[in-house]
Structure 1
Amino acid sequence: MFMILESHFVIHNDYDFSQIPIGFERFFLVVFMADAGKIGVVVFFTISAWFLIDKEVALYSSLKRLWILEREVLFYSIILGVVYYCTDLIGTKVLAKSFLPLLTNTWWYVSAYALFLVFLPFVLSGLRLLGKEKHLSLAVISLILLGVLRYIPGFPAADDSYATFILLFIVISAYKWYFKPLNIVKSVLCIIIGICFMILRFSVFDAAYMFSGFNKPDAFGQVYVFPVLMVGFGLFSLFNQMTFHSKVVNRIAKSAFAVYLITDYPASEQLLWGRLFDLEHLYQYSFAIIKMLIILFCIYLICTVVDFMRQFIFAFSIDRNPGHLFDIFTNSIVSCRPYMRLRRFILSAMRDSMERTNRSL
């Protein structure tokens, strides 16, 4: 999540970082901060997907998981919307959208992950039926769509959407089901090779800038190209080999998602990366990179403390029986007469269709 925060600081900043002169600051900002965002997304999604692969996921349980996720999302969406509205940073229209964050795509990750959860039961069942050979073939195609075709100019490559998460899930599940886990040496090697390719890409674009004036060092960096996938999978695999328990780390990790929600809210981006921490002035100071990392660490710490308060409120309210309201809501819908009639009608229509098909055959 800190990698994602670093990336947002660079790519959402009011100052175009491609205007920074060639040097160490430009190199670090592009390779180890801007490009780090998608690596963080790959790791973050892989952690959640890893524990869903071997579960029996039904549509009901998937929607219930989405309901529980939505509580935190809605909490921050409304709180941030009201605070920024009272400080005149947003208008009434944006405030109204804060009450429907999923439908208004306030956070792309939340909306994409919500749709992924809806499709998950069907995708998981389909992958299990495919078998090893077809699943591996599909995983190869998914890797090509994710990490290779982006390098073809004009090709509609995978971007920030639920489809990207489905493609990643296909690859992750194939790895978990049919391959031996990478050991520590291979994981570290995967990370090093990926970083080397990222440095090579940066060098190519800076060379193009020097000789032809092409000044887009972030080109191909903000998508799920193959080096990004290599570093992301390598990092996950590396730490998956280790056994480590810490109540402090677990407590902080519970607030990682909140850091994203707080800092990536549209008005928060405008406040943080437009007004308070302008890259144009920061990079000119001595030890600029160190100062930037300290600032980002402080932001992360403040957001974590804020989420501790949210967890305290939830612990004495809706977390006492998580998902209870969802159970009541769904049970009331399932037991109502219109639903039962519609269900009987659909099942009857399906049976009639199958009988007609059998007779024709």
Structure 2
Amino acid sequence: MTDDRGRLLAGRYRLAALLGQGGMGTVWRAHDEQLDREVALKELRLPEGLDAAGQQAWIARLDREARAAARPKHPGVITVHDRIADEDGRPWIVMELVRGRSLDDLVKEDGPLPPARVALIGRQVLDALRAVHATGVVHRDIKPANVLLEGDRVVLTDFGIASVEGEPGLTRSGALMGTPVYMSPEQMRGLPATAESDLWSLGATLYTAVEGHPPFNGSGSWAVFVAVATEDPVPAVRAGELGPVLTGLLRKDPAQRLTAEEAYELLAGPAGGAGPSRPAAAGSGTLRLAEAVPPAAGPAAAPDPGPGPGPGRTRAGARGRYVLGGLAAAVAVLVAVPWGLPDSGASDDAGPTRSAGALAPTGPS
């Protein structure tokens, strides 16, 4: 790989150090010589052998990432400053430089986190997700590596495979995008990702942070697919008061999952009542911790009397378990649906790259 340190882009951004790289891009720390500040620059990496149409598809993907991250105005979402092009016409995204580790780095280096800290992180991510979803964006890749920690601030980053309302998709219909252990059951079935899918992924992320490992295990992607689609999460042993929140977010039926408002309120207990202040959402209510425990299994289980639906969300009348048709049906779906099959040579799950300056490099999913 060419050493581009010292290279000047757009007459103002001088590359200083490589921060990380993945399947879609390379992230650099750079100095903005006009404003005298440090920024993060994400460079598009084009696979070899692409024709002109394939190159344009990849460029469109990076442009969509920039627009998706720029839509929300929230301190918990990475700030996009600009989109520039180099002398070859390849686009770069200019973002704020976040100085800190990812949640993934923190858990790998320090081990499982205390439930109170995980609850605080979860509340901040939920607050950011509310802002993201309100703008018509679904992140689709919530995972510990895409949650950055800068002091007490929590930053959601890497919108590389986000879907944006009103914009055409850039991946062939039926393709699976994301990191298997953090993908929701409906994504496994090839259905479109929704705000509820992001909440599932957040539940898996918080589970990983407090337990030290993901909620579903498998010797490979296929085993993980089957586990997510048909099995219950590995029982949590460290979660404590977080247990009901994790259970509520990891319900297989998206209509039965906790809403962002319900999860936010439930996390107040483990977090000691602390968290970012925000106005209450219209139609949301306070849910007691005990109400997050799912009803007992059985044919006569009573419907959950939880609060009314949150914004843009319709709850199913019955709150029964979501049946995916058993192991055989799940495997049949996985055989029928290709994972990450691209249009024009590009794939929405081409390997998420950390899109801000956390100081440890990251690899592809």
Same fold (TM over 0.5): no
Larger radius of gyration: 1
TM-score, normalised with respect to structure 1: 0.26
TM-score (norm 2): 0.25
Structure number with the higher strand fraction is: 2
